[in-house]
Structure 1
Amino acid sequence: MSLVTEVLYWDKLADKALLRERLTMEEGLAVLDGDDKQLLPLMQAAYKVRSYYFGNKVKLNMIMNAKSGLCPEDCGYCSQSIVSNAPVAKYSLLDKESLLAGAREAMARQAGTYCIVASGRGPTPRELDQVIDAVTEIRSTMPLKICACLGLLRDDQADRLAAAGVHRYNHNLNTSQTNYASITTTHSYEQRVETVEKVKASGMSPCSGVIIGMGESAAEIVETAYALRELDADSIPVNFLVPIPGTPLESYTRITPMHALKVLALFRFICPTKEIRVSGGRESSLRHLQPLSLYAANSWFIGDYLTTGGQEINTDHQMIQDLGFEIESCAI
């Protein structure tokens, strides 16, 4: 396609997204396979959709690694997995005061959502009680939205978290249904979908996303975007694989900044009304092109991730300000 033709094509996809019509597989692949020289027109088209629904507001989220290591699952990307030899901290669920301190830090960083994340297949009764106790106090003292990520849930566990005031629950699909067994074998793709459905039934907001760069094809990226659209996830974290030494995926190649931005544009077109959050691997995959991600996404994690470091807080704030965007208030 010529320069003018491609610009018009991206605008056509933006208009289709604004009408909430799903992109075809051919259109999705065109986004991922587009000429790098067309990146700026593509991001401008994605921004057309992003700005319509979210203006120039940026949501910030902060992770608390509430329980580290000690996980019996064999997820190939994860340094906390039983199959990982990565030298990560291992500790049981943090006490209430530590979780409260994390919430106060989230407020200081201007994060509107505080994400309590625990390794493991799913929460034990004791762990669930600890999280609920902390959430109850946070909700009574701070204007923060709470997201929990504790693994696979039973119906009663989802209901209890919702009743305690957890706003959102995260359980990522991670990759396509086709690619799933090559990444994890100790639980299934279907079990992940079931947990998200339980979250929805409980009244919590469903959060589910992907990790890009785990050997999936371009078509599988589009298929996963379709799946998240059908699942009606309110928030979609888009992670980019950080190949951690000691994990089964340590030899995988980091994706390029250009490809990362095309993926974000794709998710904006396919899930136009949803929070698209640039998550793990933002700094190492996007590098100096990080600010451009906000032309498609409307949310960032701020600070460190689970076992990998993030960017200096003031640098993130400055990037947002330099772009002319505004951090969304943390008030509920």
Structure 2
Amino acid sequence: MISLEALAEKAIRLEPLARDEACAVLGTPDDDILDVVAAAFRVRRHFFGRRVKLNYLVNLKSGLCPEDCTYCSQRLGSKADVLKYTWLSTEEAVSSAAAGIAGGARRVCLVASGRGPTDRDVDRVARSISAIKADHPGVEVCACLGLLSDGQADRLCHAGADAYNHNLNTSEATYADICSTHTFDDRVETVGMAKKAGLSPCSGLIAGMGESDEDLVDVAFALRELAPDSIPVNFLIPFEGTPLGEEWNLTPQRCLRILAMVRFVCPAAEIRIGGGREIHLRSMQSLALHVANSIFLGDYLTSEGQPGQDDLQLIRDAGFTVEGPASDDPDDTHHEGHHDLVRLRRRGAGTGEAANT
């Protein structure tokens, strides 16, 4: 038996958890889930108070990816019914980002399908970053474009990007089971390039792909070694027409234990609940906010989230406040224009790697 209170104290002191302690969190029974959440909340509250950071996805380029990641609706050979289109214009990207910012988003995530950007692609994204920052100087911009080549991270940083996202997704030992067109080390290298260029590193995982507890702990420990500032925890959305389309093996309690384990392993990192929270956490989403301090607002890349106003209501009902650049008032969650997020359904308006890319 583990002492959850002792783990919380250890995490608050930034003492590294041992592997057996992390595995023990995942092995706690469902009857103890409220104890797990309460202990993780102590850590979350110590580092982040009761603030919730809102993030918003802009899907710059959708579908037709040459990579074969088994979880992804945009993969090579995918038969999933998703939007497919080439790059949004700078004006379209800025307009989509503005809708999320009006709803309270503090960070805009610009995402494009594909193995990685060409130099021309980087120039295109750089223009969108510069335009968004010019219109909304207090908003963070994160790029998620796949594997980077030499110098590309520096150019994104020069354009005004604050962060770069590239998820590890699963353990090194099982990575080849979910992808054959690139490697775990390729992903680690890209995160390293982003850090070296001065971009805030963002890297996380996808749970629910048939992995073991040991795999989840392995990827959490690999993330701890990389030391990303933010860690998206995604829950597999089993898209029909993909190899993992029948992989429904998560429960709300399992999702909460995974979030808590990551919080204990990486206590001071922003833990973001990514794709799949609505379908896997369901009525327990508010409990997850006691562990994680960040969510995506509205939709993901190729899947629907819940309406933006429902996300804001969820935060208020759970007793949390929205963190954002628009106001110094911690209770200011009513940003003008948030009703535009009731249901955004236009080309490129965020439908995620936040939802299995």
TM-score by length of 2: 0.90
1:244-259 matches, within 5 Å, as 244-259=239-254
Which residue among 192, 205, 210 is the counterpart of 1:197?
A: 192
Q: Give the corresponding residue for 1:309.
A: 304
What's the secondary structure of 1:92's corresponding residue? coil
Give the counterpart of 1:278 among 256, 273, 278. 273
Calculate the aligned-residue CA RMSD, in Å.
Answer: 1.1
Alignment of 1:149 with 2:114, yes or no, is no
* Paired position in structure 1 for 2:116: 122
What amino acid sits opposite 2:32 in the alignment? Q
Match of 2:238 among 222, 240, 243: 243
Contact 2:191 2:201 in 1 (8 A): yes
Find the counterpart in structure 2 of residue 113 from structure 1: 107
1:271-308 Cα offsets, whole Å, 9 max, x none, are: 00000000000000000000100111000011110101
Instruction: Say whether the 8 Å CA contact 2:44–2:292 is kept in structure 1.
Output: yes
Amino acid at match of 1:154: S
The one-letter amino acid paired with 1:228 is: L
Whole-angstrom CA distance in 1 between matches of 2:315 and 2:39: 19
Do the aligned partners of 2:147 and 2:186 also contact (CA within 8 Å) in 1?
A: yes
2:130 is aligned with 1:136: yes
Matching residue's letter, 1:74: D
Deviation at 1:331, TM superposition (A): 4.8
Tell me what 1:85 maps to. 79
Residues 294-324 of structure 1 deviation map (CA, whole Å, 9 limit, x = unaligned): 1110000111101010001111111110111
State whether residues 238 and 276 of structure 1, in contact with CA within 8 Å, keep that contact through their aligned partners in structure 2.
Answer: yes
> Would you say the 8 A contact 1:242–1:254 is kept in 2?
no
- Cα shift readout 1:109-136 (whole Å, capped 9, x = no counterpart): 1000000000000112222111111111
Q: Can you give the 5+ residue segments of structure 2 that lack an aligned partner in the other structure?
A: 328-357
User: Contact 1:113–1:330 at 8 Å: present in 2 too?
Assistant: no
Aligned counterpart, 2:15: 21
In the alignment, which of 23, 31, 34 is matched to residue 25 of structure 2? 31
- Which residue is equivalent to 2:346? none
Query: Which amino acid letter does the alignment assign opposite residue 125 of structure 1?
Result: D
CA distance in structure 1 between the aligned counterparts of 2:308 and 2:236, rounded to whole angstroms: 22
Poorly superposed stretches of 4+, deviation over 6 Å: none
Find the aligned partners of 2:117 and 2:79 in 1 and give their Cα distance.
Answer: 23
Contact 2:56-2:109 at 8 Å conserved across structures:
yes
**1:168 partnered with 2:163:** yes
For residue 71 of structure 1, give the secondary structure of its aligned residue in structure 2: coil
Cα distance in 1, alignment partners of residues 120 and 275 from structure 2: 29
**CA offset at residue 70 of structure 1?**
1.4
Counterpart CA distance in 2 for 1:32 and 1:189 is 23
Equivalent residue, structure 1, for 2:258: 263
Q: Deviations over 1:200-230 (max 9, x none)?
A: 0000000000000112110110111110010
Opposite residue 295 of structure 2, the aligned amino acid is W
**In the aligned structure 2, how far is the partner of 1:207 from the partner of 1:155?**
18
- Check conservation: 2:210, 2:249, Cα contact below 8 A: no
Aligned identity (percent) is 51
Determine if contact 2:231/2:269 at 8 Å carries over to the other structure: yes
User: Which of 47, 71, 95 is the equivalent residue of 2:41?
Assistant: 47
Q: What residue is the counterpart of 1:102 in the other structure?
A: 96
Gaps of 5+ in 1: none
Aligned to 2:66: 72
Q: Is the 1:76–1:83 contact (alpha carbons within 8 Å) kept by the matching residues of 2?
A: no
* Matches of 1:198 and 1:155, distance apart in 2: 8
Alpha-carbon shift at residue 140 of structure 1 (Å): 1.4
Contact preservation (8 Å) 1:254, 1:285: no
Q: What secondary structure, in the 3-state scheme, does the structure 1 residue paired with 2:132 have?
A: helix
Map of 2:318 onto structure 1: 323
Paired letter, 1:70: L
CA distance, structure 2, for counterparts of residue 294 and residue 87 of structure 1: 31
User: What is the SS of the residue equivalent to 1:295?
Assistant: coil
State the Cα deviation string for residues 247-284 of structure 1 (Å, max 9, x = none). Answer: 01111114100000000000110000000000000000
- The CA deviation string for residues 153-210 of structure 1, in whole angstroms up to 9 with x for no partner, is 0121100000111001000000000110000000000000000000000000000000
Matched, 1:208 2:215: no
Distance 2:223 2:326 in 1: 27
Q: What is the TM-score normalised by the length of structure 1? A: 0.96
136-145 vs 297-306, which moves further: 136-145
**Paired letter, 1:322:** D
Equivalent of 1:287 in 277, 282, 288: 282
CA spacing shift, 1:331–1:168, aligned 2, 3 Å: farther
